[in-house]
Structure 1
Amino acid sequence: MSDFTLVDPQGWEWDLHSVYSAYIGYFQVHNIAWYDRSWGHLFSTFEDFLAFSWPVITVTDVWTGRAHIVTRLTSIGAFLKMIKTRFGETLPQAPNILQVTPFETSTRHLRTVTDYASYKKLHSTLPAAVLSALKLRIRAGEPKAVRELWAARDRTFLTIDFEWSERNEKSCLEFGYAAVRCGHLEALRHWPPVPDSNYRKGHFIVSEYVDKVVNKHSPGGAFPWQFGESQVCPKAKLPQIIQAVISSLASPDSETVANTLVLVAHGISGDLSRMEEMRIKLPHNMLILDTATFERTLFAGGHRPAMIDPHTSSPGNPKPRAHGSTLSLENLLRSLPAPPDAPPTPPQMPLPGVFPQTGALVHGVALHNAGNDAFLSLYALQLLLEPATQAPVISPKRAQAQARPLSFGGAPMPIPIAIPMGMHGGDALAAGLGADATANGAQAWEWERDDRKELTAAERHA
C-alpha cells in the first residue's frame, strides 16, 4: 500500500466490498452462471476480486458516521473494461452498490489494495477514522451526532467554567464544574436526569484573590454559588483539583474508541487554552462539545424557531436573528422555553443585548459566577436535547443571599442576588415595566458603562 499520495475525497464514494457484493447479488438475480465464465475466477472470493489492484481511500459517511474503504466510479469502469478487453464479454455496472458521501473534505492518503492481507490491514484503521470524524462532528456541533451521543445514555457530560481577572488574564479567580453520568443513571433506570439531584457539581474560589479581586464588567464572582457550598483552595492546588475531577470521570485513553467523558463549555476555546496553560492533561479520545456552537448549528439548520436578534433589535424595531450569530449563555437560556414546573420569574430591568423573555433562566442565579455558569451550561445543553427537563429550584435562603459589596461609579453598594439577574440579563424589548423601573434600569446600565470607561482609561494609562 502506498502512503505517499494524497487525493481529494470528492468522487470517492463507492464502498469497495459493496462492489463485490453487488455483483454476486446481480448474478444471482439474473441467473448468470458466473462460475462457468472465463472471467468467473475474478469473483470466486473477495480476495480474487481484489487482485485487480483497487485504488482506495478511507472516509466516513456524512450521515451514518461509519467508516468505509471506498473507490471511484472510474476504477469500477476500468475493471469492467478489463473484463471486456481480456475476455470479450461486457458486464453492466451492478445496481445496489453502497454509495457513501464523504464527511472528510481534506486530502486523504491514496492506497492500492491488491490482496486480502492489505485490505485487512487497511480495514483495521477504520475505528480510528470513525473516532477522528466523531471528534470533529461533536466539536462542530452537528445536531445528529450530538443527539445520538445523548440518546446512547452511556456518556458522562462534564461542563466547566473559569472566571479570570479582567486586569490580569493570568489570574484565575474561580473554577466551576457540573457533570451528569448518563450511564450510571440509565443503569438505575432514572431518565431524564434531574439537575438538582443528578448533577455532580463543584465551585472553587482561589484563596489568593478572595475579597481582593472583583471584575467590573462581569462581577458574577461577587455573588454566591447557588447550587452548593463553595470551596476555597490555593492557586497552586487548582490544577490538581481540576485534573482529579477529569480523571474521576474519564475512561482510558484509546486510539480507536471514544472516551466516555464529553467535555462541555459555552465558548470552550478559551477554557481549553486556560487548561493547557495550567498543564492539565486531557484524554486524546475525549469528545469536546461547545454549547454555543451546537445552538448556532441548530438554528442554522432550522432546528430552532425564528427569533429576534437581541444585539441589533431595539424597542419597536425588532430584527430577525441572522444565521451564524452566537448567543451568550444568558441569551441561550432566555431563548429556551421555561420548563412547565419552573417557578414564575419577576420582570427584570431592561438592558440592551438580551432577549425580552426570561425563558429558562433560573431566577436568583447570578451569571458570571464560575459554578453557576457551569451548572447552567449543562442545564441549557440538556434543555436543547430534553425539553422536558425538570427546572432547578433555588431555596429561598440562597435566593436572598447578599452579595459582596461592589463599586459602581466609585460608591460601594451591596446588591442582593435578585438584582444582578436584571443587570446581566435585562429586558431590552419588553413592555409593561413601569417608568420608575425603566429609569432605574437605565441608571444601572449607565453605572456599568461608566465603570467600563474608567477601566479602559486605567488600562490605557497603564
Structure 2
Amino acid sequence: MADFRLVNPEGWEYDLQSVYSAYIGYFQLHNIPWYDRTWGQFFETFEQFLGFSWPVIAVTDSSTGRAHIVTRLTTVGAFIKMIKTRFGETLPTPDNMLKVTHFETSQRHLRNVADWATYKKLYTTLPAVALAAFKTRIRAGEPKAIRELWGKRDKTFLAIDFEWSERNPATFLEWGYAAVRCGHLEAVGAWPPMPESNYRKGHYIIGDYVDKIVNKHCPTYPWQYAWGDSQVIPRTKLPQIVQSVISSLASPDTETTANSLVLIGHGVSSDIQRLEEAKIKIPHNVLIVDTASFERALFNAGERGVMHDPKTGKHRAQGSTLSLGGLLHSLGIDPPCALHNAGNDAFLCLLALQKMMEPGTATPMPDTDARRKPKAAGLVMAPPMPVAFMGHLTVVGDGYWKSLGGSGSPRVRERERGMVDGVTDEMGLMRMGSKYGSMSPPEIGGSWKDDGDKEKEGWFKSAKGVRLGTK
C-alpha cells in the first residue's frame, strides 16, 4: 500500500470483485467445470483470484455515489492472456462486469492488490472516498445530492451570514444565523418545518463598530433585524459565540461519516473564509451547501424554466448566478425585511433552500407591530426597576402603567415577558433605553433605508419622554 503512483481515472471503470463474480456466473451458466481445470486455482476464492496482482484505484460512481475498487479492461485482457500462456486455454471476457462511471476527475492513487490483506485494507478506505465525493457534489450544488440530503430528514441545516467592512474584510460588523433541526422535527411528526416556529435564529451586532463603520457601496442595516432580538456584543466575543452555535449543532468529526450539521450560505465561500480568519473550527465532515450554486445547477438543468432578467428583459444566460434577493423573487418571495442585515440574510437563505426543496412552504412575516430591540452584551445584577419617565407615567394598584392624561396599558409580569426599556429581561440582560437600542436616530450611519419622515418623527417622540434619551 505504501508504493503507489498517481494516475488519471479515465479507463478505470470495472469493479474488481465484479470481475471475479462475473466469471463464476459465466462458468455456472455454461456448465464449465472450472474446478477440474488446471487454471481453476485462480477461481477457488476471491483471495486466490487476487493472486494475479491487479492494479486498482478507488473511485465513486457518479450516479449512485458508492465507492468502488476498480481496474481496467486492459488488465482483464492481461489476465486472460496469462491463462492462455500458462495453461493453453482461452477464457472469454465476461459481459456482466459492473461498469463504474467515475465521479472523480483528479488523479488517483494507483495500488497493486495481490492478496486479501491488501484488498481489505484498501476496502476500509471506501467510506472516506465516498464521503469526499459526496462533499464535493454537495458543494458544487448537484441537485440530486442535495435533494437526497434534504430528503433523509436527519440533518441540521445551519445558514450563516457575516457582514464586514468594505475596507477591511477582517472587521466584522454583524453575524447572523438560522438553523432547522430536521431530525428532531421528523421525530415529533412536525414536517415540513414552519420557519416562524421551527427555525432557531440569532443576530449579533458588533458594538465596537456599529454606526461608526459604514459601507458606502453596499450599506448594511444592523438595526433592522426582523426575526427576533439583536444582541450587541464586543468584537472579541464574536468567535466564541459563533463557535458555541456550531458546537451545539454538530456531531463528532469522523473520516467516514457525514456530520449531522450542514452549513448553508449564499455565496458561502466568503463566509467560510471569514470563519477561517476568526479561527473558528468546523468539523471536516461538515457538508456545505451554496444556495447560489444549487439554484444555478437547477437552472442549467432546465428545472427552473425560462427566466428573464428584470433589468434588461432578456433571457437569463446559462451559468449566470442570482443574488439572494434575485433568488427570493424568482421563488415568489417578496422579502419581508431588509436585506444586507446578517440575521435577515441568514434566515432568508435557509428559507430559500427550504422553498426549493418544499415549494409549498409559506413565506413567514415578521411582527410589524413593534420593532425588536437589541440586547446589550453584559449581565445586569440590579433588581428590576421601571424606566423613569418625566412624571407622565405612574404605577397604580391594578398593575397598569397609567399616564395623567390618558388610559393605561397592561403591565405584563416579568417572568412572562421581558422588562420594559432600561431594565432586565428574563435572561438578566439589559435592554437598551431607546426604541431602536441606540440613542442616535435611525438615519445616522446609513443603517436605515426607506424610513419615512413619520417613522423618524416617531423615534424622536418616543425618546422625548425618556429621561435617558432627552436632549
Task: Establish whether TM, by shorter chain, passes 0.5.
Answer: yes
Offset at residue 413 of structure 1 (A): 8.2
Give the 5 Å matches for 1:13-412: 13-310=13-310, 313=312, 318-336=313-331, 359-363=332-336, 365-398=337-370, 404-405=442-443
Offset at residue 220 of structure 1 (A): 3.6
Deviates more, 1:394-403 or 1:285-294: 394-403
Report if aligned partners of 1:165, 1:173 keep a CA contact under 8 Å in 2: yes
TM-superposition CA deviations, 1:338-366 (whole Å, max 9, x none): xxxxxxxxxxxxxxxxxxxxx21233x00
Residues 111 and 413 from structure 1, CA distance in 2 versus in 1: closer, same or farther, beyond 3 angstroms?
Answer: closer
Distance 2:58 2:204 in 1: 45
Report if aligned partners of 1:260, 1:286 keep a CA contact under 8 Å in 2: yes
TM-superposition CA deviations, 1:211-248 (whole Å, max 9, x none): 33333333342542111111111110010000000000
Offset at residue 168 of structure 1 (A): 3.6
Report if aligned partners of 2:211, 2:445 keep a CA contact under 8 Å in 1: no
Counterpart secondary structure, 2:38: coil
Residues 330 and 399 from structure 1, CA distance in 2 versus in 1: closer, same or farther, beyond 3 angstroms?
Answer: farther
Residues 138 and 398 from structure 1, CA distance in 2 versus in 1: closer, same or farther, beyond 3 angstroms?
Answer: farther
With the length of structure 1 as denominator, give the TM-score of the two structures: 0.80
Report if aligned partners of 1:65, 1:130 keep a CA contact under 8 Å in 2: yes
Offset at residue 310 of structure 1 (A): 4.0
With the length of structure 2 as denominator, give the TM-score of the two structures: 0.79
Distance 1:27 1:247 in 2: 56
Report if aligned partners of 1:362, 1:392 keep a CA contact under 8 Å in 2: no
Distance 1:413 1:4 in 2: 61
Counterpart in the other structure of 2:3: 3
Aligned-partner residue type, residue 82 of structure 2: M
TM-superposition CA deviations, 1:354-385 (whole Å, max 9, x none): xxxxx21233x000000000000000011111
Residues 165 and 183 from structure 1, CA distance in 2 versus in 1: closer, same or farther, beyond 3 angstroms?
Answer: same
Distance 2:14 2:278 in 1: 46
1:415 equivalent in alignment to 2:451: yes
Counterpart secondary structure, 1:6: strand
Distance 2:300 2:316 in 1: 10
TM-superposition CA deviations, 1:14-43 (whole Å, max 9, x none): 000011111111111222221122211111
Q: Which of 1 and 2 has greater Rg?
A: 2
Report if aligned partners of 2:210, 2:222 keep a CA contact under 8 Å in 1: no
Give 5+ residue unaligned stretches, structure 2.
Answer: 373-434, 456-471
Distance 1:44 1:417 in 2: 88
Counterpart secondary structure, 1:208: coil
Residues 398 and 27 from structure 1, CA distance in 2 versus in 1: closer, same or farther, beyond 3 angstroms?
Answer: farther
Give 5+ residue unaligned stretches, structure 1.
Answer: 337-358, 420-462
TM-superposition CA deviations, 1:88-145 (whole Å, max 9, x none): 2222111221100111111111100001111001001111111111111111111111
Offset at residue 2 of structure 1 (A): 5.1
Q: How large is the Cα RMSD of the aligned pairs? A: 2.2
Distance 2:367 2:97 in 1: 61
Distance 1:414 1:332 in 2: 22
